[in-house]
Amino acid sequence: MSNLKVAVQKSGRLSEDSLKLFKECGIKFNNGAKKLKAQSSNFPIEFLFLRDDDIPGYVEDGIADIGIVGQNVQDEYQKEVDVVKHLGFSKCRLSLAVPREVDYSGIQYFEGKNLATSYPTILKNYLKDQGVNAEVHMISGSVEIAPGIGLAEGICDIVSSGSTLLSNGLKEVETVMKSEAVMVAYKQMSDDKKALLDQLIFRINSVLEGKN
Ligand code: ATP
Ligand code: ZN
């Protein structure tokens, strides 16, 4: 029988909880530190360890059958995949933040302003919904330093506790979206693989129910 190919983040905030979920489902595997692939010894699953940003694309193309990514990454890249399960970990939010000393009165504050973010698609859609015209500048990392170096008057970035914002002299003023890890699946999976995915989801549901 063919393997279900599962894309998980190689190293980052999704990795540990993603692998823990499979272990809690009773799926055994060895993932050495620098390995790019791992085969389960007791379930027809093969793991592919990738950058999280690449996962939706690999699943859209069917290189991987399923993958685990943040809802924020799925919404940003808008790849043609099915979101089959919300997983309840890696919870965070995408928020707008401004320098602490700004007298913030509401979303119209951003009219005509420059904003830096790694999530331009999500941010542009949000601003459009809110009826705000602002310049959105894409930067791929260290977004929170943008106001301090004069690149932007505000940022849109991932927040969990808010301590990174605070240490960069910023304050959170609007929530753009809430996110958690989701399982995405290839749209044209074979019936064999769909049956495997159903078995996996059945096990995941039992694990998640046990946590509630
Ligand atoms: P990669 O090198 O794989 O591209 P990355 O730097 O883009 O990694 P991480 O910081 O590991 O990504 O975050 C992965 C995902 O985890 C994010 O897209 C988001 O959904 C979630 N996440 C990010 N920061 C937090 C946080 N502080 N708390 C909880 N979840 C978070
Ligand atoms: Zn990433």
ipTM given for this complex: 0.96
* Those residues with Cβ within 8 angstroms of residue 44's Cβ, 6 or more apart along the chain or in another chain: 1, 2, 3, 4, 196
Answer for the pair 171, 66: CB distance below 8 angstroms, yes or no. no
Domain 92-178 -> CATH class: alpha beta
CA of 51 to the centre of ligand 2 (A): 6
- 3-class secondary structure, 105: coil
> Residue 211: is its pLDDT beyond 90?
no
Same fold, 4-90+180-211 and 92-178: yes
CB 75 within 8 A of CB 122: yes
> With a 6 A CB cut-off, is 113 part of the ligand 1 pocket?
no
Ligand (nearest to CA of 7):
1
**Closest ligand 1 atom to Cα of 180:** 20
- The finding on whether 95 has its CB within 6 A of some atom of ligand 1 is no
How big is the chain, counted in residues?
Answer: 212
Write out pLDDT tens, residues 157-202: 999 888 889 999 999 999 999 999 999 999 999 999 999 999 999 9
Structure tokens at 56: 């939706």
Q: Is the pLDDT of residue 1 over 80?
A: no
The SS3 call for residue 69 is strand
Residue of higher predicted confidence among 211 and 183:
183
pTM surpassing 0.90? yes
Percent of the chain with pLDDT over 90: 92
Average pLDDT of the chain to the nearest whole number: 96
Q: Phi/psi at 66 (nearest 5 deg)?
A: -140, 165
CB of residue 72 inside a 6 A radius of ligand 1:
yes
Q: Residues 151, 114: contact at Cβ < 8 Å?
A: yes
Residues near 167 by beta carbon (within 8 Å), at least 6 away in sequence: none
Q: How far is CA 124 from CA 30, 69, 109, 130, in A?
A: 42, 21, 15, 10
For the chain, the domains span: 4-90+180-211, 92-178
pLDDT at position 29 is 94
Q: What is the CATH number of domain 4-90+180-211?
A: 3.40.190.10
Task: Give CA–CA dist 7/154, Å, rounded.
Answer: 34
Q: For residues 66 and 183, is the Cβ–Cβ distance under 8 A?
A: yes
What is the torsion angle, in degrees rounded to the nearest 10, for the CA atoms of residue 159, residue 205, residue 85 and residue 190? 150
- What lies within 8 Å, CB to CB, of 165 at 6+ separation is 97, 144, 157, 159, 171, 172
145: left (phi over 0), alpha (psi -120 to 50) or beta: alpha
70 close to ligand 1 (CB < 6 Angstrom) = yes
pLDDT in tens, 82-128: 999 999 999 999 999 999 999 999 999 999 999 999 999 999 999 99
Integer Cα distance of 167 and 35 in angstroms = 35
158 Cβ below 6 A of ligand 1: yes
